[in-house]
Amino acid sequence: MTKRTSFLLLFFSLSFGGVVSTSISEEIVNEYFTIVGSHQIFAGKKESQSLWSIKNPRVKFRAGKAEFLATVLFEKDRINIKKDIKKEIEVIYNDKKNELQLLIKNAVVKMERRGKVLGKVDLGLIYQTGLVFSGPKPAIESFKMKTRLGKIRFDILNSEQNIFYEEGSIRFTMNLDYEIL
């Protein structure tokens, strides 16, 4: 290869690349919660079952954070407890599956009366299965091109990943670079 061709290949591999991203809107996640809706769950032994009602589940995406919000009602015998909950949402990226999952952190809600825990419900078991989205990673990891000089193979490299919590959305970005082999 000539010096000029080597320089051009090196220049291409260093200067080309960029950012790809996936954006998850608050609107689409809240639409999912509208479809899934409120839940009522019986828990405990048959002799002393409690009724859990989860009403108005929704998310709020703000600059710097994402929150899951709902009202949880607990009924057992003559005890009625209502609790408005606010849980932080974390974004996890699975590189192998190219999936983004929204996880409700500390998803277990405990109902207490006078320091005694009367029951628990895990919101993650109810809602998290539908909070999985496709990631921005390209479907291919490399490609080949025919040139005057022969075949050239380009590998697509993921150099950096970032999560941005913005007003009304969560944006996941991935910096891609191309390496010539």
Q: Is 63's pLDDT higher than 60?
A: yes
CA distance 101 to 25: 13
Q: How confident is the model at residue 26 (pLDDT cuts 50, 70, 90)?
A: very high
Confidence of residue 17 (pLDDT cuts 50, 70, 90): low
Tell whether the model's pLDDT for residue 11 goes beyond 80: no
What does the pLDDT average to over 86-115? 92
For residue 143, pLDDT beyond 60: yes
Q: Using one digit for the tens of pLDDT, what is the confidence trace for 64-76? A: 999 999 999 999 8
Domain boundaries, the chain: 3-21+141-180, 24-134
**Percentage of the residues of the chain whose pLDDT score is greater than 70:** 91
d(CA 63, CA 80): 36
